[in-house]
Amino acid sequence: MDAIFLQILNGLDKGAAYALIALGLTLVFGTLGIVNFAHGALFMLGAFCAVTFNKLLLISNKVLDPTVTMFKAYKETPYLEIWFPDIGPTLIDYSVPLSMLLAIPVMLLIGFILERGLIKHFYNRPHAEQILVTFGLAIVMQELIKAIFGANPVPLSAPDVVAGTAAVGDWFGLGENVVYPWWRLIYLSFSGLIIFAVFAFLQFTTYGMVVRAGMRDRETVGLLGINIQKRFTIVFALATMIAGLAGVMYTPILPPDYHMGMNFLVLSFVVVVVGGMGSLGGAVFAGFLLGMVQSFASMTEVKEILPGIDQVIIYLVAVVVLLVLPRGLMGRAGIMDE
Amino acid sequence: MSNMNVGKMNDLTRFLIFAVAILTMPIWMDPFGGNYPDLLQKFAIYGIFAIGFNILFGLTGYLSFGHAAFLGVGSYAAIWSFKLFTMNVIPALFFSVLFAGVLAFIIGQLSLRRTGIYFSILTLAFAQMFYSLAYSVLTPITNGETGLQLAHSDPRMIDSLFFEAGAGLPSTTLFGLKMSGYSGFYFCAVLLIVGFFVSMRIFRSPFGLMLKGIKSNQNRMMYTGLNTKPYMLTAFVISGMYAGLAGSLLAITDPIAGAERMQWTASGEVVLMTILGGVGTLAGPVIGAGLIKYFENIFSAFNDTVLAEIFSFLPEAMVDYAVTIAGLFVGSGWHLTLGLLFVVVVIFLPGGIVEGAGKLVKLVSKREKSTGGSVTQQDQPGE
Name the phi and psi angles at B322, rounded to 5: -60, -45
Q: What is the mean pLDDT of residues B334-355?
A: 82
Residues of B in CB contact (< 8 Å) with A are 57, 61, 63, 110, 113-118, 120-122, 124-126, 128-129, 132-133, 135-138, 218, 264-265, 268, 271-272, 275, 328, 332-333, 335-336, 338-343, 346-347, 350
What pLDDT sits at residue B379? 43
Beta strands at A180-181 and A165-166: parallel, antiparallel or unpaired? antiparallel
Best of A135, A321, A336 to disrupt the B interface (most B CBs within 10 Å) is A135
Q: Is the pLDDT of residue B360 over 70?
A: yes
Residues of B in contact with A318 (CB under 8 A): 121-122, 125
What is the pLDDT tens value at each position of chain A, 338 positions in all?
A: 777 888 888 888 889 888 988 898 888 888 888 888 889 999 999 999 999 998 888 887 777 777 777 777 777 777 777 787 777 777 888 888 888 999 999 999 999 999 998 888 888 888 778 888 888 898 889 888 988 888 888 888 888 777 777 777 777 777 777 778 888 889 999 999 999 999 999 889 998 888 888 877 888 888 888 888 888 889 999 999 999 999 999 888 888 888 888 778 888 888 888 888 878 888 899 999 999 998 888 887 777 777 777 778 888 888 888 888 877 787 766 555 44
Q: Give me the numbers of helices (H) and strands (E) for chain A, helices first please.
A: 16, 4
Q: Which residue has the higher pLDDT, B20 or B316?
A: B20
End-to-end CA distance of chain A: 47
Report percent pLDDT > 90 for chain B: 29
| Residue of B117, B333, B346 lying closest to A129 (CB–CB) | B346
Q: What residue in B sits closest to A143 (Cα-Cα)?
A: B336
What pLDDT sits at residue B246? 95
CB contact under 8 A, A135 and B342: yes
DSSP B88: B
From the list B83, B383, B44, the residue with the least C-alpha distance to B194 is B44
CB contact under 8 A, B124 and A143: no
CB contact under 8 A, A273 and B118: yes
CB contact under 8 A, A269 and B275: no
Q: Judge whether B346 and A136 are in contact, CB under 8 Å.
A: yes
Q: What is the ipTM of this complex?
A: 0.79
Q: Judge whether B337 and B343 are in contact, CB under 8 Å.
A: no
Q: What is the mean pLDDT of residues B171-195?
A: 86
CB contact under 8 A, A140 and B135: no
Q: Which of A229-233, B49-53, B311-315 is least confident? A: B311-315
CB contact under 8 A, B271 and A132: yes
A-B contacts at Cβ under 8 angstroms: 119
Q: What is the mean pLDDT of residues B289-310?
A: 79
| Residue of B63, B110, B335 lying closest to A323 (CB–CB) | B110
Q: Judge whether A29 and A232 are in contact, CB under 8 Å.
A: no
Residues of A in contact with B135 (CB under 8 A): 311
Report percent pLDDT > 70 for chain B: 92
Q: Is the pLDDT of residue B376 over 60?
A: no
Q: Min CA distance, A243 vs chain B (Å)?
A: 21
What pLDDT sits at residue A44? 92
Average pLDDT taken over every residue of chain B: 84
Residues of A in contact with B341 (CB under 8 A): 136
Q: Min CA distance, A129 vs chain B (Å)?
A: 7
Residues of A in contact with B268 (CB under 8 A): 135
What pLDDT sits at residue B230? 92
C-alpha atoms less than 13 angstroms from C-alpha of B351 in its C-beta half-sphere: 14
Residues of A in contact with B214 (CB under 8 A): none
CB contact under 8 A, A326 and B118: yes
Q: Min CA distance, A76 vs chain B (Å)?
A: 28
Q: Which of A145-159, B204-218, B328-342 is least confident? A: B328-342
What pLDDT sits at residue B3? 44
Residues of B in contact with A131 (CB under 8 A): 63, 120
Residues of A in contact with B117 (CB under 8 A): 35, 127, 273, 277, 336
Residue type, B229: K
Q: Min CA distance, A234 vs chain B (Å)?
A: 23
What pLDDT sits at residue A103? 92
Residues 32-61 of A with CB under 8 A from B: 35
Chain segment B233-251, per-residue pLDDT in tens = 999 999 999 999 999 999 9
For residue B38, name the pLDDT band (cuts at 50, 70, 90): confident
Q: Is the pLDDT of residue B20 over 70?
A: yes
According to DSSP H, which parts of A66-172 are helical? Answer: 79-83, 88-93, 95-98, 100-117, 127-149, 168-171
Compute the distance between CA of residue A64 and CA of residue A84 in angstroms, rounded to an integer: 17
CB contact under 8 A, B335 and A323: no
Residues 256-295 of A with CB under 8 A from B: 262, 266, 269-270, 273, 277
What phi-psi label fits residue B149: left (phi over 0), alpha (psi between -120 and 50 degrees) or beta?
Answer: beta
| Residue of A273, A308, A338 lying closest to B136 (CB–CB) | A308
Residues with Cβ within 8 Å of residue B68, at least 6 apart in sequence: B127, B131, B243, B261, B262, B263, B264, B266, B267, B269, B270
Q: Min CA distance, A24 vs chain B (Å)?
A: 17
CB contact under 8 A, A338 and B218: yes
Chain segment B108-134, per-residue pLDDT in tens = 998 998 888 788 888 988 888 888 888
What pLDDT sits at residue B295? 82
CB contact under 8 A, A142 and B275: no
What phi-psi label fits residue B167: left (phi over 0), alpha (psi between -120 and 50 degrees) or beta?
Answer: alpha
Q: What residue in B sits closest to A144 (Cα-Cα)?
A: B336
Best of A270, A273, A303 to disrupt the B interface (most B CBs within 10 Å) is A273
Q: Min CA distance, B293 vs chain A (Å)?
A: 17
Q: Is the pLDDT of residue B380 over 50?
A: no
CB contact under 8 A, A311 and B136: yes
